[in-house]
Structure 1
Amino acid sequence: MSSILRAPARASAPELILRPWRDDDRDALLTAYQDPVLLRWTRFHVTSPADADRWLAQRRQGWADGSAFSFAVLEPDTEAGERLVANVVLKQVTPGRPDAEVGYWTAAPARGRGVAGRALDAMSRWAFARFGDTGLARLELLHQVDNAASCRVAEKTGFRFQEVLPARPPFPRDGHRHVRRADQG
């Protein structure tokens, strides 16, 4: 199964292309991480070229060892060809284990346009198709309780609220667990 995914175009939004991260994404990654909102909600900050190189190396390693599948999310750009708009990741995938976790972030210029939900949906469908026969039956999305935008993305993408999780390091606040099951589509 291909590691290039597509979220179809809608009347108000172009097609999204999801592909594994590459070394030439470094500058776009650094630009995305200049956003204070992104820095607020992510645990690992990319603030230098060395940070970006480490971050990209970790993404390659995840694909190589099968522990995490991180996708750069791109949309067409008339000047640049493609523009980075988000990141989605499937992590903690283990054959025989029924659940895995998903995560994402959205670059500042792409927020409020449905990018996160469309990319998360495409990756979720891919995850169930690729790993369903090894036992994957549910995906979990976790976020802090005060991240209302992530709560909306989860609900719109078929991740139903399950419970409040107590704060524990490195997370300073309680969190929400949302779940999407394979039989939901």
Structure 2
Amino acid sequence: MSVTLRAAPTVTAPGLLLRCWRDDDVDALVEAHRDPELRARTRNPLTTPAQARRWVDGNRQGWAAGRRFSFAVCEPTSDGDRVVGCVLLKDVVPGRADAEVGYWTAGPARGRQVAPRAVDAVSRWAFTRFAATGLARLELLHQLDNPASCRVAEKSGFPFVEVLPARPPFPLDGHRHVRHHR
């Protein structure tokens, strides 16, 4: 894995490029959110280009504020790259030891180890970038009815820690997985 920090950070993992979301990702976002599985697991599915544009703009604001970092997970193609998922690092606060990692994978990319590679890469980037400000622990949370996320967590270096009771907006109990900075 290599980590490159520039004005527009990118992270790489085998066969993947993780970068900031761009305006030209709007159509790919809407297409990914047509997937019934993704829609069922996402609180706010993006169903229109206007919603997707607002989401991209919100992610830029998160980067600018330095507390929320959303990466488009892309597979390189002969004419650029194709969005196959998203990994998000949220609740990054200087002096606070923990933050949360979330992710989704587009339907056609599931089952190809995209999510574990991307989550691992962003986790390494997070510890490299924010350890000096106190980041020592990342959490990955998911509902009990999502065993695929359990597998992604384990493969990404997030062992299971505990069952969490349901609380809004999540209707079911969940799992907490935690990865510590080494």
The TM-score with structure 2 as length reference comes to 0.94
1:121-136 map, 5 Å:
121-136=120-135
The C-alpha deviation readout for 1:96-124, integer Å capped at 9, x for no partner, is 00000000000001000000000000000
Distance 2:93 2:44 in 1: 23
Bigger shift: residues 121-130 or 48-57 = 48-57
Distance 2:39 2:61 in 1: 23
Distance 2:41 2:154 in 1: 18
Q: Which residue of 2 aligns with 1:30?
A: 30
Q: Which residue of 2 aligns with 1:12?
A: none
Distance 2:80 2:135 in 1: 35
**Correspondence 1:6 to 2:12:** yes
Distance 1:49 1:21 in 2: 14
1:77 deviation in Å? 2.4
Q: Which residue of 1 aligns with 2:150?
A: 151
1:178 deviation in Å? 0.2
1:43 deviation in Å? 1.1
**Correspondence 1:18 to 2:24:** no
1:1-185 map, 5 Å:
1-2=5-6, 3-8=9-14, 15-78=15-78, 80-183=79-182
Distance 1:111 1:60 in 2: 26
Distance 2:80 2:56 in 1: 21
Counterpart residue type for residue 103 of structure 1: G
Give me the CA root mean square deviation. Answer: 0.8
* Secondary structure of 1:97's aligned partner: coil
Indicate the percent of aligned positions where both proteins have the same amino acid.
66
Distance 1:49 1:28 in 2: 10
Distance 1:94 1:112 in 2: 33
Q: Which runs of 4+ in 1 moved over 3 A?
A: none
Counterpart residue type for residue 163 of structure 1: E
Distance 1:32 1:46 in 2: 9
1:82 deviation in Å? 1.1
* Secondary structure of 1:58's aligned partner: helix
* Secondary structure of 2:103's aligned partner: strand
Counterpart residue type for residue 10 of structure 2: I
Distance 1:103 1:138 in 2: 14
Bigger shift: residues 131-140 or 53-62 = 53-62
Gaps of 5+ in 1: 9-14
Distance 1:67 1:133 in 2: 15
* Secondary structure of 2:149's aligned partner: helix
